[in-house]
A = this chain, B = another copy of it.
Amino acid sequence: MRAPTPRSDESVFSRFFRREPKQSRSRAAVDAVIQATEDLVARGKAIEDLSIELLSERAGVAMGSFYEYFSGKDSVVGVLIGRVTRANFDHLSAALAAAHHETLEALIRDFSRTVVDAYLAHPKRTRMLIDGIARLGLLGVVSEERDRFALEMAKHAMRFLPDEEPARVEATMRLAADTAMGILGFAAHRGGDIDHAKMADELAEIGLHLIRRHHPRASK
């Protein structure tokens, strides 16, 4: 096993704060604002329809406190994107680490399902995040997170591909991650009902196809 991949620069997201909360009381206020925003968005509220008044009120935080930590709505959205990106990454990494798959196929299938469930659990939130990531110029940061995640995947897949070059397995996993994000991201953006099991199956089949194609010696 290689050393853990370094975490992408935290300051990318912390720069969205006007001032970072240090004390537990100010952290609680910030958390309440982020939580209120997330709840409203998950219920289908568009960012345009959120006002600082509404967010502060829902969070039970005075407007003055709001402006101590956030400069405005985009500041909240930037921090929220950072938190969700981190939470998704941690959740997926933990799921990878906890599972003990007997075969590469089982790993890929189980993992596809975990990814779909994580990203589509709140499709409205995902859509808002995609738009926010785009608008705030965070595509690069999210790309890095995805690449970092592909490395984690490669580490796990290597158990079943002992004779393959790590760099080639990593390239395959990057391709699989790009594909998954293309399909999931566009589906979430398009809206409408999505059948998680079917979508997971789709991603798993593409992932297995990529592995078979690029690593024909792969143990089944």
Taking Cβ atoms with an 8 Å cutoff, the residues of A that contact B are 130-131, 133-135, 137, 139-140, 143, 146-147, 175, 178-183, 185-187, 189-190, 202, 205-206, 209-210, 213
Partner of A185, one of B130, B135, B182: B182
Contact A209 B202 (CB under 8 A): no
**Interface residues of chain A: helix, strand, loop or mixed (majority):** helix
C-alpha spacing A147/B181, complex, angstroms: 17
Query: How near does chain B come to A140, taking the closest CB pair, in angstroms?
Result: 7
Q: Say how many copies of this protein the assembly contains.
A: 2
With a cutoff of 8 Å between Cβ atoms, the chain B residues found around residue A135 in the complex are 134-135, 137
With a cutoff of 8 Å between Cβ atoms, the chain B residues found around residue A130 in the complex are 139
With a cutoff of 8 Å between Cβ atoms, the chain B residues found around residue A190 in the complex are 143, 147
Q: Which of A147, A179, A182, A189 counts the most chain B CB atoms within 10 A?
A: A182
Tell me the nearest residue of chain B to A138, going by C-beta: B134
Query: How near does chain B come to A13, taking the closest CB pair, in angstroms?
Result: 17
C-alpha spacing A175/B179, complex, angstroms: 10
C-alpha spacing A104/B134, complex, angstroms: 36
Contacts A134-B135, A206-B209, A213-B205; A140 near B189 (Cβ below 8 A): yes
Query: How near does chain B come to A169, taking the closest CB pair, in angstroms?
Result: 16
Contact A175 B189 (CB under 8 A): no
Query: How near does chain B come to A196, taking the closest CB pair, in angstroms?
Result: 16
